[in-house]
Amino acid sequence: MDKNLALEFVRVTEAAALACARWMGRGDSNAADGAAVEAMRKVFNSVDIDGVVVIGEGERDEAPMLYIGEKVGKGGNLKVDIALDPLECTNSVAYGRSNAISVLAAAESGMFLHAPDTYMEKLAVGPDAAEVIDLNASPEENLAKIAEAKGFEISDLTVVVLDRERHEDLIKRVRKTGARIRLIMDGDVSAAMATAIPGTGIDVLMGIGGAPEGVLAAAALRCLGGAIHGRLVPRNSGEAERAKRMGVEDLNTVFKTEDLAKGENIMLAATGVTDGDMLRGVRYTGTGAFTHSIVMRSKSGTIRFISTEHHFAKDPDYH
């Protein structure tokens, strides 16, 4: 994949962000997500790739667009697997909360785990602690090792956890270590990415979230030098059977970063929809809008933050 392709992917996430940001605070998460999906698909099909969605909006019978297995791009000789979330944190947009992004990752064929639509226990950190985490260890042991690797006191660490009833015990245990906790309503992809970006104030992601989002987080952390460990947590026997049909024989398997996102040529682009720790949200003007994006490549290790001014009269794809 050519380095210029990464900038083409930014155009795709920008379009999705611009389309769904108009729904911020209007209380309709489905409309916001639908706007992001439609805009992302439209711009995707102007990119010179023979792409297939491997992490998407759901199976073909569940999602009208950007479903798993859908072809995207103009076609050609460059075969690319795509993992995407046109709008991570639909409720954050609907109710005017923070950290909503549009995100996609790309790799050569066969490099992304085809994660089933179930839950995944996750532990993610930045480069300083990438070599010390162990999902089979206790939260207390992991936080002690992470703090030591970063040269912190445990009380200096900030741990992000999804605010869910299933995390009550985890939250109690983290609090007892003295670590600080930031509870979020949605958005563990952006939280996992933030652990590896200086200045966000986020050191660790812990807890159970979506398995497809774990693949997106792994793609980002491959580019950023961080690490994520994940283990599937099916919610019922049907999800467990589906995971096995997709090739996960042992549900106790701990997937590491390189298991979730393989290869040496991974690209990821994300654009802020609402303001977050990592990216600013969309700002509309009388003639267009401003967006703030991040684009990265594992091959070069390059990380770019891109501020873009859009003029809708000159570029109707974004309007």
Domains of the chain: 3-112+265-318 (3.30.540.10), 119-260 (3.40.190.90)
Residue with tokens 């003029």: 311
pLDDT in the model for residue 247: 79
Which residues are CB-contacts of 48 (< 8 A; sequence separation ≥ 6)?
8, 73, 74, 76, 78
pLDDT in the model for residue 104: 97
For the whole model, what pTM was predicted? 0.94
Phi, psi of 78 (to 5 degrees): -85, 105
Residue 95 DSSP SS3: coil
* DSSP code at position 156: G
pLDDT in the model for residue 61: 64
pLDDT in tens, the chain (319 residues): 666 788 899 999 999 999 999 999 999 999 999 999 999 999 999 999 999 999 998 776 677 789 999 999 998 888 999 999 999 999 999 999 999 999 999 999 999 998 888 999 999 999 999 999 999 999 999 999 999 999 999 999 999 999 999 999 999 999 999 999 999 999 899 999 999 999 999 999 999 999 999 999 999 999 999 999 999 999 998 888 888 887 787 888 999 999 999 999 999 999 999 999 899 999 999 999 999 999 999 999 999 999 999 999 887 666 5
